Chains A and B, each alone.
Chain A
Amino acid sequence: MKINLLINGLYRSVEVEPGEYLLDTLRKINMISVRRGCDNTSCGVCTVLIEGKPVPSCSYLSVRADGKSILTVEGIAEEAEKISSYFGEEGAEQCGFCNPSIALTVYALKKEIKNPTDEQVDKYLVSNLCRCTGYISQKKAIKNYLGDKS
């Protein structure tokens, strides 16, 4: 069946199976920045923004996304570049497999909560696992980005 998606500001009509998940649909059409890290929505790597909210695409049926707006990291390129600069300053990049999903989640957080506390930030990002950094460098980078009003 065909669904219509607004991906990163462009309308696309995509052929999907009834039981297909959005992660597989996006990778099928070469949106490769969306990646799989687990089987049951427990790692956060496959996060995309659907109507502005972070959602694990590995368990979101593609048919549910019909007519909706989807952002992957390519759709927030300018902000992602800014976030990456703050990550770079703190040495918080490491393997980067989770980084596009973290950029998207941090971007959504900035829009959703004005001047969040450290605890609010941690809670918002709690389901985005990282096995490389030990989190502290990431937390500093995220804090610096959230404080950037430019």
Chain B
Amino acid sequence: MKTINQSFPSVDGKGIMMGRVAFTDDYALQNSLIVKILRSPHPYAKIKNIDASKALALYGVECVLTHKDFPRIPFTRAGQGYPEPSPHDKFILDEYVRYIGDEVAVVAAVSNDICEEALSLIEVEYEVLEPVLNFETALDSKNILHPEPEIHEMFPIGFDPKRNLAASYHMHIGDVEKSLKECDVVVEQSFFTQAQQHTALEPHTVNAQMDYQDRLVLYSSTQTPFHVRRILSQTLGIPLSKIRVIKPRVGGGFGGKQALHGEMFVSYITYKTKKPSKIVFTRKEVFESSYTRHPMRLDIKLGADKDGTLKAIDCYVLSDTGAYGEHALTVFMVAGSKVLPLYNKVDSVRFHGHVVYTNHTPAGAFRGYGAIQGNYALESAVDMLCHKLHMDPIEFRQKNMMKENETSPIFAIMGEGTEGTAMNMESCKLDYCVSRGKELIGWDSIYPHKNVSKEKIRSVGMAIAMQGSGIPYIDMGSAIIKLNDDGFYNLLIGATDIGQGSDTILAQIAAEELMTSLDKVIVYSSDTDLTPFDTGAYASSTTFISGNAVLKAARKMKGLLIEEAAKVLKCEEADINFDGFNFKNKKNESEINLSQLSNRLTYNEDQKQLVADSSYVGHKSPPPFMAGFIEILIDRETGEIEIENYVSVVDCGTPLNPKLAQGQVEGGVVQGIGMALYENVVITSKGKNITSDFLNYKVPTRMEIKKLVTEFAESYESSGPFGAKSVGEIGIDTPPAALANAIENALGVRMTDLPMTPEKIMRALKAKEKRQ
């Protein structure tokens, strides 16, 4: 029975399409109190007074909560392991509001309408403060976002709130300034990336109820159920043992649901009133009041010799974390740590920068997590360098990029908020990815461009990328496998399926090791009472970390089964031949099948419950690699771009389920295309986001995406389960740079500001004409 490297449909796809109860709000009790949040109309203000008496007098209002109801315990909603690498700079409710959409007060009432009416009756007196709305002048601004004394960092992350600094960092290898001076060719450019929104189709949703053991039970649309439980206990003072967090099916996460959003409010209300409650974010709240990607300015300098040897990379990053420092340091560090090692043969590297507070919607985790920003800057700059060198950009990359069995000193220096972990690239088929992608896109017949008509030009562009597979020595996954009578198994995992198909591929791993069919492995995940611990679905960790835990547990179960079979067949364990269904004593051909053995263990003799458990912590984070190639048609009269084809050739080790892996890559690619071209965030001079719905914030529709070609390199990562590395994020990284490079190949203009809208392209063309 072979289940690995096979494209099984996901175990839950049919039931979900057929409309079964699946998502968080489907589990809310009908009599739940509706919870809604009064949000700040000001980007920065101090609440001088709140009068909720009129709201409280309204029939059907259960309670109104303000900052006076909560103890001043600073924490971070980031949803990371403990201690977090994010500053503890947030209170459940605070007397300060720091962005338009920040929480002022919370209402619980019997209906949506009464909630809305109550919100409108709360009278708030604000002292409006001068906001910080330009992240380039936020550092050392006289307007400080976080003057409160209680906030702190958990360990040194370069936190200095008096300077509006959420985090900062500096690393260097060699003397970058000296090597740049010695280089024949140098390019220098600043790049800007925007506050992309995840827009998972299921908005942030949580509901809570007290169960008949008087415990708080939460259903949450979260990527991190175990972190949610811990953070609720730490902030609300509810004993950890009194909280159960259940993650049902999640309708997309992409990092946006790593953090806690409504969890504190429904938990507090239900725990206090003993009544069930629920919150469902409106789409506007998702845009304005959850998370965005960290907008960044990346100042990059590259230096090379005439022969095309890259000698030095210098990168300064200024990152805008918005009002709170969630993922401030780690996203910023990944812009270096999962980008710069791509070019591992340089003499010197410097990576440094600041993550600043502004009065914008907080930024947080988002698929790609800094790598997409860093990749856009580096892979754009590499093409600029190639133009200056008159060198083919593919040849340049093949000469300078990471190869199998090589390493980069950056791995040991930079981790996520901490020191990194040294590792060799035991699997790296980037070479193949580049040459195969070049072939698939038809590079040689188009590069740099072909004129199609008077207006239209066809061009190609490309970029390479790497990501990681979990965070070494920090991320932990675990699994329990239980044998049932009739010979099928339960697989209990803390890992969090958010639609990416982890329940399916983890069941495949168990089935492969136990040599059984996929339908004999019943998977249940992400319930803090019933499943073992897992850090959650982030940092491209599930396939590698949780997958290794499942593999180890399955191996253990196999050992237990053979031990029991040997007792029955009265032989040594070594004499047992087990094929997944039958145990045979090699010596005398006597046998028993799994169903008989399990029934015997359950009902007849030697009765016991067979359970195997295991956990896994990574000792390295083997990067998946990818080469992305784009073919576009661009209109030189309007700046409009049609995407003709996107080719992805990916090294993720063994794709455990090739179709699901392809889905991860292609979903990522299209989100990356959205960031590169369409997803424009417009914030007014008063700090108001005016692109907070799908009519104004354009995610790609099926009209823009005509062709995606995705292939996997033959690759085997010996530290991964059945040779696998992770594949959840790598797809998103290349589109911005590949597109910018294709635009330059077509029009000779370098786009340095995302998204690359037709207006910006036309502006760049006009500027170029003026220069000539």
Question: CA of A88 to CA of B15 in the docked complex: distance in angstroms?
Answer: 11
User: Roughly how many angstroms separate A97 CA and B12 CA in the complex, as a whole number?
Assistant: 12
Q: Across the interface, do B663 and A95 meet the contact criterion of CB distance under 8 Å?
A: no
Within 8 A of B (CB), among A68-85: 72-74, 77, 80-81, 83-85
B702 engages A138 (CB within 8 Å): yes
Residues A97 and B201 in contact, CB atoms below 8 Å apart: yes
Q: With A and B bound together, what is the CA distance between A73 and B159 in angstroms?
A: 51
If A36-B203, A74-B19, A95-B250 touch, whether A133 touches B13 (CB-CB below 8 Å) is no
A residues 127-150 near B (Cβ < 8 Å) are: 127-139
Contact A84 B663 (CB under 8 A): no
Is A99 touching B662 in the complex (CB atoms < 8 A)? no
A93 touches B9 (CB 8 A): yes
With A80-B18, A132-B499 in contact, do A96 and B13 touch (Cβ < 8 Å)?
A: yes
Q: Is the CB of A91 within 8 A of B663?
A: yes
Q: Tell me, yes or no, whether B21 is within 8 Å of chain A by CB.
A: yes
Bound-state Cα–Cα, A90 to B250, Å: 21
Interface contact A137-B666, CB-CB below 8 Å: yes
- Tell me if A25 is interfacial: C-beta within 8 Å of chain B: no
Interface string of B8-36 (1 = CB under 8 A from A): 01101110111111110110001000000
Query: Which of A32, A72, A122 contacts B703, CB < 8 Å?
Result: A122
How close is A13's CB to chain B, nearest CB, in angstroms? 18
Closest Cβ of chain A to B272, distance in Å, is 26
Chain A neighbourhood of B30, CB < 8 A: 28, 30
Chain B residues closer than 8 Å to A115, beta-carbon distance? none
Task: State the main secondary structure of chain B at its contact with A.
Answer: loop
Within 8 Å of chain A (Cβ to Cβ): is B667?
yes
Given contacts A88-B10, A136-B666, contact A43 B19 (CB under 8 A): no
> In the complex, which of the residues A45, A77, A93 has the most CB atoms of chain B within 10 Å of its own CB atom?
A93
Q: Give the docked Cα–Cα distance between A93 and B282 (Å).
A: 24
Count B interface residues, CB 8 Å. 59
**Is A134 touching B708 in the complex (CB atoms < 8 A)?**
yes
Q: Is the CB of A137 within 8 A of B202?
A: no
Q: Is the CB of A96 within 8 A of B203?
A: no
Residues of A within 8 A of B250 (CB): 95
The answer, yes or no, to whether A103 is at the interface (CB within 8 Å) is yes
Docked-complex contact A88 and B694, CB < 8 angstroms:
no
**B701 sits at the interface (CB 8 A):** yes
Q: Which residues of A contact B693 (CB under 8 A)?
A: 38-40, 42
A42 to chain B, nearest CB (A): 4
Q: Does B72 contact A (CB under 8 A)?
A: no
Residue B3 at the chain A interface, CB threshold 8 Å: no
Known: A95-B499, A125-B702. A35 touches B283 (CB 8 A): no
| Residue from B14, B17, B657 with most neighbouring chain A CB atoms (10 Å) | B17
Q: How far is the CA of A94 from the CA of B703 in the complex (A)?
A: 20
Given the complex, which residues of B lie within 8 Å of A129, measured CB to CB? 201, 694, 699, 701
Question: Chain B nearest CB: distance from A50 CB in Å?
Answer: 17
Q: Given A37-B203, A97-B201, does the pair A84, B13 have CB atoms closer than 8 Å?
A: yes
Complex Cα–Cα for A132 and B700 (A)? 11
Q: How far is the CB of B279 from chain A (nearest CB, A)?
A: 13
Q: How far is the CB of A107 from chain B (nearest CB, A)?
A: 11
Residues of B within 8 A of A22 (CB): none
A contact residues around B699 at 8 Å (CB): 129, 131
Asked if A137 and B662 sit within 8 Å, CB to CB, the answer is yes
Contact A93 B669 (CB under 8 A): no
Q: Is A59 an interface residue (CB 8 A)?
A: no
Q: Chain A interface mostly helix, strand, loop or mixed?
A: loop
Smallest CB-CB separation from A20: which chain B residue? B113
Interface status of B280 (Cβ within 8 A of chain A): yes
Give CA–CA (A134, B666) in the complex, Å: 5
B9 and A131 form a contact (CB under 8 A)? no
- Set B23, B203, B282, B667: member contacting A132, Cβ < 8 A: B667
With A95-B498, A133-B666 in contact, do A84 and B203 touch (Cβ < 8 Å)? no
B306: interface (CB < 8 Å): no
Most buried by B among A30, A81, A132: A132
Contact B10 A42 (CB under 8 A): no
Residues of A within 8 A of B694 (CB): 38, 40, 42-43, 129
Q: Which of A32, A95, A127 has the most B CB atoms < 10 Å from its CB?
A: A95
A63 to B290, CA, bound (A): 34
- A4 within 8 Å of B by Cβ? no
Verify if B707 is at the interface (C-beta below 8 Å from A): yes
Chain B residue numbers with a CB within 8 Å of A35 are: 23, 25, 202, 251
- Name the contact of A131 in the complex, choosing from B13, B17, B201, B707 (C-beta under 8 A): B201
A88 and B657 CA atoms in complex are apart in Å by: 12
Write out the residue numbers on chain A whose beta carbons fall within 8 Å of the beta carbon of B252: 94-95, 97, 131-132
Q: Contact at B13–A130, with CB atoms within 8 Å?
A: no
Q: Which residues of B contact A32 (CB under 8 A)?
A: 19, 21, 25-26
Residues of B within 8 A of A125 (CB): 702
What are the residues of chain B within 8 A of A27 when measuring CB–CB? 25
A134 to B710, CA, bound (A): 12
List residues of chain A with CB within 8 A of the CB of B670: 133-135
- Cα of A88 to Cα of B670 in the assembled complex, Å: 20
Taking CB as reference atom, which chain A residue is nearest B658? Answer: A91
- In the complex the two chains form, is A136's CB within 8 Å of B251's CB? no
B500 contacts chain A at the CB level, 8 A cutoff: yes
Q: Which residues of B contact A122 (CB under 8 A)?
A: 702-703
Do the beta carbons of A42 and B703 come within 8 Å of each other?
Answer: no
Q: Does A98 lie at the interface of the complex (its beta carbon under 8 Å from any beta carbon of B)?
A: yes
Q: Is the CB of A95 within 8 A of B666?
A: no
- Contact status A73-B10, CB under 8 Å: no
Any A CB within 8 A of the CB of B622: no
**B659:A91 contact, CB within 8 angstroms:** yes
Sort A-B residue pairs by CB-CB distance and give the 8 closest, nearest first.
Answer: A95-B499, A88-B9, A33-B19, A91-B659, A97-B251, A93-B13, A96-B16, A134-B666
**Can you sample 25 A-B contacts with CB below 8 Å?**
A35-B23, A36-B280, A38-B283, A38-B693, A39-B284, A40-B283, A40-B693, A73-B19, A83-B17, A84-B13, A95-B201, A95-B251, A96-B16, A96-B22, A96-B249, A97-B23, A98-B201, A99-B16, A103-B17, A130-B201, A131-B671, A134-B669, A134-B671, A137-B663, A139-B702
Other than A42-B695, A133-B667, give 15 A-B pairs with Cβ distance below 8 A.
A45-B201, A91-B7, A91-B658, A91-B662, A95-B200, A95-B498, A97-B200, A100-B17, A128-B702, A131-B252, A132-B667, A133-B663, A134-B667, A136-B705, A137-B659
Residues in chain A within 8 A of chain B (CB atoms): 27-28, 30, 32-33, 35-40, 42-43, 45, 72-74, 77, 80-81, 83-85, 87-100, 103, 122-123, 125-139
